Amino acid sequence: MKVKIMVLLFTTLFFAGCNSKDINPLLDKWETPFETPPFNSIIEEHYLPAFYETIKLQNAEIDAIVNNTNTPTFENTIVAIDNSGELLKRVSRVFGAMNGAMNSDKIQEISKEIYPKLSEHFDNINMNPALFTKIKVLYEKKAKLNLTKEQSILLDNYYKDFIRGGANLNKEDKAKLGKINIELSTLSIQFGENSLKETNKFELVIENKDDLVGLPESVIANAAETATSKGKNGKWIFTISKPSLIPFLQYSEKRDLREKIYTAYFMSGNNSNELDNKNLLVKMANLRLEKAKLLGYDSHANFVLDEQMAKNPSNVYMLLEKVWTPAINRAKEESVEMQKLITNEGNSFKLASWDWWYYSEKVKKEKYNLDENELRPYFEVNNVIKGVFGLATTLFGITFEERNDIQKYHPDVKVFEVKEADGKHIGILYTDYFPRDSKRSGAWMDEFRRQYKKDGKMVTPLIYNVGNFSKPTGDMPALISLDETLTLFHEFGHALHGLLSNCTYESVAATETPRDFVEFPSQIMENWALQPEVLKTYAKNYETGEIIPLELINKIKKSSKFNQGFATTEYLAASFLDMDWHTITEPITIDAITFETNSMNKIGLIHEIKPRYRSTYFNHIFSGGYSSGYYSYIWSEVLDADAFAAFKESGNIFNPELAKKYREFILSSGGTDDAMELYKKFRGLEPGIEPLLERRGLN
C-alpha cells in the first residue's frame, strides 16, 4: 500500500531540535547526484529509527486524508494515497536492497523487528473504514469522474486492494487477518534467513589436488581464492552457491564428490537442525489458506491469481500440462542417451540427479563438439555488459555512462547514468554481479526509486541489478558461463522495464504489472543475446580481443535445443510444486517432504531429475513474492517467444518500428492498461504457444 505526507514540513520540524551529528541520512534530504542513496553515511543503526519515524509520518498523512471534510475527489483521495509514504518507501527500498545483497546479523535482527511492524502498519491502512469509504464513494461513481485510462485503473486497483486487504471484514475477522499477516511476515523472514545460512554453512573442502580432476583452471582458481578468503590457504573450497556448484557438477570426474555437494544442495533446509524449514513452510501454506478463506477464496492460489493474467489455477495447470508432456518425454530420451554413455564407459551405476550436469556436458561435446569451457573466454563480464548496453542503444537509442561520483554500497557495484539519444537523463542503473556471503543466492532487479510524475514533473528511477556470477580471480577477469550471460541479459530486461517507464502514478508504473506479465520484458532479452548479430558485438576473447568465431556461433545455435527436456522439466516440476502447495483447500497435516513426494509422483517426475527448487529452499514462494506465481516464467515465455517471432518475421531483429512499439506499449506503460491489451497493441494479436515449443525443441 502507498501513502503520502507533508515531507518538507515534517523534515523541518523533526530536524529543528536535532544537532547535525544526530541527523539520520535516511530521513535527511539527499544532496547527491540525482538524489541517489548516500551509502557512505548510512549505517545499520539508522534503519530502525528511520522506519519508526516514517511510519508515524505516513500515519499523519493518512489521518489528513481521512479527516479532510471536502467531498472525496480523485486528487484528494486516490492521488493523495498514491503519493504518500514517500520517505517510508525510500527507507524500505534501501533496507530491502541491503537485506538481499549486504545481509548481516544486525540486518536480520532489524528484519525480525520491523517487518511484522510494517505488516501491522499496512493492515491498519487497508482496514481503515473511513479511508475505504472515501475510496468506495469514488469507485461507485467512477463513470462520472471523467478519468483517463491510467486513473481509472489506479482507482480500480485501490478499491480491489483494500477489499483484498480486509476492508470488508468484520472487526473480529480483521483482527484475525492482521494476526495472520504478522505471522506470515515473521515466518517468511525466518525461511529466508535459514536458506542463506544453509548456503553459507556448507563447504566442500578439497586438500588433495587429484580430487580436482576434470575441473577447468578458472573453476579451480575460484575455489582456491574462496579457500584463501576463509583462511584455508593451499586448499580448495566449493560451495552450494550456483557459480561454484554448477561448474563442479559439470566437470568433476569424482562422482562421490559430485554426490556429496549436490546432496548438500538438495537437502538444504531439510537437515532437522536449527535451520530446518519443513515445519515453517507447512505452517505458511496453512496460514495462506486460512487468509484466503477469510477473504472469500477457495485457496491461496485462487486469491493470488484473481489479479494475474492467468485468473485461476485451472488455467495455470492447463498451460503447465501442455508443456509437461513433451518436456518429460524429451527428458526421458536425454536420460537414455546419458545412460548409454555411462555404460559405454564401462560403468554399471544408474544415472542419478548429481550425474546429470556431468553427462549432459559429455553428450553435448560428443554431439555438437561444444565444450562450455570453449565459450567462457568469450564471455568476460564487462564485455557482456557492453553488449547488452549496445543492444539497448540499437533498439531504443539510449546510452549508458559509468559514474564514479555516485556512492555505492559495496566495491563490486558499478553505477551508470542512462540517457536518451539526445542526452536527456533517464535514470541510474546499479550493477552488483559477484557472490559474497552477505548476498542471497539468485539474480534480481529492484529499485531505490520508481519512476512517476509529481506535480507534472518526471521523477526519474534508480534501478539495480544483482547477480551471483563467476567472479574474477587473480589476474583473470570474470569469465561467466553462457547460462550466466543469459541471466545477465534477463535481469537487464527487468532493468529496462524500470528505467523506461513513463507513467504518472507510482502504483502502476514500471514493473507494477501482473506477475505473469512482468517476466516477459526480461525473458525477451535472452532471445537477442544469442543472435549472431548480437554475439559479435560482445563475445570477444578476453586475451586476444578476437570476436567469437562463426564456427562457435553455429555450434551454440545447433545445441540451443539440447538438454531442453531437463531444463523444462526441472522448471515445470517446481511450478507444479508451487501450485500444489497453494491450491490446498484444507490444512495440510502431513510433513513437507511427504507432500512434495506426492506432488512429484502425481506428475511422474523421473528420479534422475529434482525440481529446480525443492520446498525447503524454494525462496521464490516462501521468502519472496512468487507464491502461486512460479509458473509466471513459462506464461511470460509464451509472450516473449511470440514477441521475438514478430522481430524475426519482419526480417530485422532490430526492426526500429517494432522496437518503438515495444518500448511504448510494453516498457513504458507499466500497469496502465490490461496486460493482454498492451500486448495486442504491440503485436496486433494474442500470442500462440507454438513459438515457445519450437524454441525449446518440444514440438
pLDDT of residue 372: 82
pLDDT of residue 697: 86
Q: How far apart are CA 587 and CA 646, in angstroms?
A: 46
Q: How far apart are CA 434 and CA 158, in angstroms?
A: 39
pLDDT of residue 17: 35
C-alpha angle 105/108/109, rounded to 5°?
Answer: 90
Of residues 430, 497, 440, 501, the one with CA closest to residue 465? 430
Of residues 48, 65, 51, 52, the one with CA closest to residue 4? 65
For residue 20, the SS3 value is helix
CB 615 within 8 A of CB 592: yes
For residue 259, the SS3 value is helix
- Catalytic residue (one of 53, 198, 491, 570): 491
Residue with cell 550436469: 357
Residue with cell 515449443: 693
Q: How far apart are CA 378 and CA 396, in angstroms?
A: 26
Indicate the CATH number of 278-370+563-622 among 3.40.50.720, 2.60.300.12, 3.40.50.150, 1.10.1370.10: 1.10.1370.10
Cα Rg, the chain, nearest whole Å: 25
Q: What is the CATH number of domain 377-542?
A: 1.10.1370.40
Of residues 437, 444, 513, 463, the one with CA closest to residue 668? 513
The H helix count followed by the E strand count for the chain is 29, 9
Q: Which residues contact 146 (CB under 8 A, 6 or more apart)?
A: none
pLDDT of residue 15: 34
pLDDT of residue 1: 28
* Strand (E) or helix (H) holding 401: strand 399-402
The neighbour count for residue 32, using CB atoms within 10 Å, is 16
Residue with cell 577477469: 477
CA–chain centroid gap for 634, Å, is 14
pLDDT of residue 441: 86
Q: Is 134 exposed, middle or buried (0-12, 13-18, 19+ CB in 10 A)?
A: buried
Q: How far apart are CA 92 and CA 98, in angstroms?
A: 10
Is it true that 278-370+563-622 and 377-542 share their CATH fold?
yes
Of residues 647, 388, 633, 623, the one with CA closest to residue 525? 388
Exposure b/e, 573-592, CB count within 10 A at least 16 = b: bbbbbbbbbbbbeeebeeeb
Q: How far apart are CA 488 and CA 522, in angstroms?
A: 10
Grid cell for residue 221: 582458481
- What 3 state SS string does 362-405 have? HHHHHHHCCCHHHHHHHCEHHHHHHHHHHHHHHHHCCEEEECCC
Of residues 617, 644, 625, the one with CA closest to residue 308? 625
**Position 223: which residue type?**
A
The sign of the dihedral angle between the CA atoms of 175, 180, 185, 190 is positive
Of residues 250, 334, 225, the one with CA closest to residue 567? 334
CB 453 within 8 A of CB 460: no
Of residues 631, 559, 560, 567, the one with CA closest to residue 328? 567
The pair phi, psi for residue 451, each rounded to 5°, is -70, 140
pLDDT of residue 281: 98
CB 428 within 8 A of CB 34: yes
Q: How far apart are CA 498 and CA 334, in angstroms?
A: 39
The neighbour count for residue 376, using CB atoms within 10 Å, is 22
Level-2 CATH architecture, domain 7-126+128-164:
Orthogonal Bundle (1.10)
For residue 202, the SS3 value is coil
pLDDT of residue 373: 84
Grid cell for residue 306: 484473481
pLDDT of residue 4: 33
Instruction: Give every residue of the chain whose pLDDT is below 50, as ranges.
Output: 1-21
Per residue in 148-206, pLDDT (tens digit) is 999 999 999 999 999 999 999 999 999 999 999 999 999 999 999 999 999 999 999 99
Grid cell for residue 49: 529509527
Which region holds residue 170: left if phi is over 0, alpha if psi is between -120 and 50, else beta?
Answer: beta
What are the residue ranges of helices labelled H in 202-312? Answer: 217-229, 242-251, 255-266, 278-294, 300-305
Per residue in 67-82, pLDDT (tens digit) is 999 999 999 999 999 9
Q: How far apart are CA 227 and CA 222, in angstroms?
A: 9
DSSP-assigned letters across all residues of 73-106: -IIIIIIHHHH--HHHHHHHHHHHHHHHHS--HH
* Strand (E) or helix (H) holding 544: none
Residue with cell 501454506: 285
**Position 319: which residue type?**
L
- Active-site residue, 491 included: yes
Q: What residues does each domain of the chain span?
A: 7-126+128-164, 202-266, 278-370+563-622, 377-542
Grid cell for residue 330: 524429451
Q: Is 320 exposed, middle or buried (0-12, 13-18, 19+ CB in 10 A)?
A: buried
* Strand (E) or helix (H) holding 664: none
